[in-house]
Amino acid sequence: MTSLLDRAATLRGAPPLPPDDPFYIAPPDLETLAPGTVVRSRSVELALFGMVPQRIAAWQLLYRTCDLDGNAEVTVTTVLLPWGADPRESRPLVSFQCAIDAVAPQCFPSYALRRGAQTIGSIAPLELPIIAMALRQGWAVSVPDHEGLDGRFGAAREPGYRALDGIRAALSFGALGLSPSNQVALWGYSGGGLATAWAAELAAEYAPELDIVGAAAGSPVGDPAAAFVRLNGGWFAGFPAAFVAGLRRAYPELVPVLEDHFDTRFRALLGEAEQRSTFALLLRFARRDVARHLRGGIAELLAEPVLRRVLTDIEPGGKAPAAPLLVVQGVRDEVIAVADIDAHVQRYERAGATVRYLRIRNGSHLPLEFLVVPVVLDWLADRFAGRQAETGTETVTSVARSVRAVRKNLEFLQVVLTMVAGRSIGVADAPSASAAQSSPLVPEEREILRIS
> Helices H, strands E: what count in the chain?
16, 13
Q: What is the pTM of this model?
A: 0.92
Count up the domains in the chain and report the number: 2
Q: What percent of the chain has pLDDT over 70?
A: 92
Contacts of 303 (CB under 8 A, 6+ apart): none
Q: What is the pLDDT at residue 81? A: 98
Could you tell me if 39 and 98 lie in one domain?
yes
Q: What CATH number is given to the structural domain containing 288?
A: 1.10.260.130
Q: Which has more confidence, 276 or 447?
A: 276
Residues 113-137, mean pLDDT to the nearest whole number: 97
For residue 448, the model assigns a pLDDT of 36
Q: What is the mean pLDDT of the chain?
A: 91
pLDDT at 450 over 90: no
**Domain presence at residue 438:** no
In terms of domains, do 88 and 191 share one? yes
pLDDT at 442 over 90: no
In a domain, 3, yes or no: no
pLDDT for 228-259, tens place per residue?
899 999 999 999 999 999 999 999 999 999 99
Integer Cα distance of 221 and 381 in angstroms: 25
Q: Do 158 and 236 share a domain, yes or no?
A: no
- Tell whether 306 and 258 lie within a shared domain: yes
Q: Output the DSSP codes for 368-411.
A: HHHHTHHHHHHHHHHHHTTPPPP-EEEEES-SS-SHHHHHHHHH
9-13, 17-21, 78-82, 398-402: least confident range: 9-13
pLDDT of residue 429: 67
**204-223 per-position pLDDT tens digit:** 999 999 999 999 999 999 99
Rg (CA), the chain: 21
8 Å CB contact between 170 and 61: yes
- Both 194 and 271 in one domain: the answer is no
Q: Same structural domain for residues 34 and 174? A: yes
Q: What are phi and psi of 238, to 5 degrees?
A: -65, -30
pLDDT band at 2 (very low <50, low <70, confident <90, very high): very low
Residue-level pLDDT at 172: 97
Residue type, 443: P
Count of CB atoms situated within 10 Å of the CB of 147: 30
Q: Which residue has the higher pLDDT, 435 or 89?
A: 89
Of 30-39, 284-293, 385-394, 425-434, least confident by mean pLDDT is: 425-434
Question: Of 214-218, 289-293, 379-383, 431-435, where does mean pLDDT reach its minimum?
Answer: 431-435
Q: Judge if 366 and 403 occupy the same domain.
A: yes
pLDDT digits (tens, 9 = 90+) for 75-95: 999 999 999 999 999 999 999
In a domain, 7, yes or no: no
Full domain range(s) for residue 260: 230-312
Based on the fold, state whether residues 60 and 34 are members of the same structural domain: yes
Q: Is residue 117 part of a domain?
A: yes
Does residue 442 belong to any structural domain of this protein?
no
User: Which residues are part of the catalytic machinery?
Assistant: 190, 333, 365
Q: Give the pLDDT band (50/70/90) at residue 428.
A: confident
In angstroms, rounded to a whole number, what is the distance separating the alpha carbons of residues 245 and 428? Answer: 42
388 in any annotated domain: yes
Q: What is the mean pLDDT of residues 291-306?
A: 90
pLDDT at 360 over 50: yes
Of residues 164, 159, 144, the one with CA closest to residue 77: 144
Given a cut of 80, is residue 12 above it in pLDDT?
A: no
